[in-house]
Amino acid sequence: MHTSQKDLPVSAAIFMIAAMAIIGIIDNYIVRLADTIGLWQFHFLRGVMMLPLIVIMSRIGLGRLAPNRGWAVAVRSIALAVGMLFYFSALALMPIAQALAGLFTSPIFILLITTFVQKRRIGPWRIVAVGLGFIGILSVLKPNPQDFDAMVLLPVAGGFFYALGAIATRTLCEGESTVALLGGMMLSLCLLGLIGLLVLAVVPLQSVPGPAGFVTRGWVWPMEDALPWVILQAFGSVIAVFMLVKSYQLGDATYVSVFEYSVMIFGPVFAWIALGQALGVWQIFGIGLIVFAGGIIAIRSGGEGVQLEAKPG
């Protein structure tokens, strides 16, 4: 008896959890490369490394590289790329638990946009999930009203643009291959990195040493200290995305998307073990609420929850 790819939920879950474990580990090391190079150089270099690997993914049968509707993929890619710029900026400036918490505001933004902009009705379960997720995000980000730091909004801005990209995936990019979507986003990130480098070459900004200067730093040479971490990001992301694509091939999207939230566990736990980034009780509580709320949204949305299938890691 022939077994379809959709009949392997356990294998799908294993692939997804493995992908999220890789992303949770490699994203912790953004702060290492942020010591010496900048955000724009990082994304340009990583794009140059990853784009040939994405072409190879297409050649070995993982999906068609050319998009069916180039404009739709471009809109989606730019939204996601901007979201990733905010997310990676946050990774250099705050613990990964806070950066991920901000990024995972995206399911909340998706529901808010679909409710108030697209005028779709949502049920009570998802309304409760939004409230729980918001409490969880506040618990992890720990914004202090008396000493407000706008930096905590960086990953939240990433979550907003990531939500726009996820909505564009559903409304504009139906039928596009995962490889085409991934290639479009990586090309956008690479081009944005190049544009950022050119702007900083023409109008250089004063940059401080270390991760605090990650966003304002132009081209740095030599860069032997950062290069191993850029290579780790490029190859680690390709492996993770391969597993992620395989996961969605093997299991139902509604079921599989819930396991994406395991990155909220892998990232902070690895940061605690390897980098000494301790989590407080309220942050652990907040992460639990975010994972729980995300699971509710994914299940009740019937697969319309945010999917990280295009996330480079």
Report pLDDT digits (tens) over 256-302: 777 888 888 899 989 988 888 877 888 888 888 888 887 777 776 65
Q: Name the nearest CA neighbour of 81 among 49, 40, 112, 113.
A: 40
Q: Give 307's Cβ-side CA count (13 Å radius).
A: 26
In this predicted structure, what is the pLDDT of residue 254? 63
Which two tokens mark 83?
């979201």
Based on the number of CB atoms within 10 Å of its own CB, is 122 exposed (0-12), middle (13-18) or buried (19 or more)? middle
Please choose, from the candidates 101, 133, 89, 57, the residue with its C-alpha nearest in 3D space to the C-alpha of residue 298.
133
Q: What is residue 227's predicted lDDT score, i.e. its pLDDT? A: 93
Instruction: Give me 114's structure tokens.
Output: 């679909």
CA 168, CA 110: separation in Å to the nearest integer?
11
- CA 54 – CA 241 distance, rounded (Å): 10
* Dihedral sign of CA atoms 195, 177, 309, 58 in order: negative
Confidence at residue 3, expressed as pLDDT on a 0 to 100 scale: 42
| C-alpha R_g of the chain | 19
Q: Are 114 and 120 in contact (CB under 8 A)?
A: yes
At 308 the pLDDT is 45
Q: Global pTM?
A: 0.86
pLDDT tens, the chain, 313 aa long: 344 444 577 888 899 899 999 999 999 999 899 999 999 999 999 999 999 999 998 999 888 999 999 999 999 999 999 999 999 999 999 889 889 888 888 888 888 888 877 777 777 887 888 888 888 888 887 776 666 677 888 999 999 998 898 888 878 888 888 889 889 999 999 999 999 999 999 998 888 889 999 999 999 998 888 999 999 999 998 888 888 877 876 777 667 777 888 888 899 989 988 888 877 888 888 888 888 887 777 776 654 444 444 454 5
- pLDDT for 310: 43
Q: How many CA atoms within 13 Å lie on the side-chain side of 174? A: 3
- How high is the pLDDT of residue 61? 86
Closest C-alpha among 116, 132, 113 to residue 124: 132
Place of tokens 């993929």: 73
For residue 80, the model assigns a pLDDT of: 92
CA 62 to chain centre: 21
Predicted confidence at residue 28, as pLDDT, reads 92
End-to-end CA distance of the chain: 37
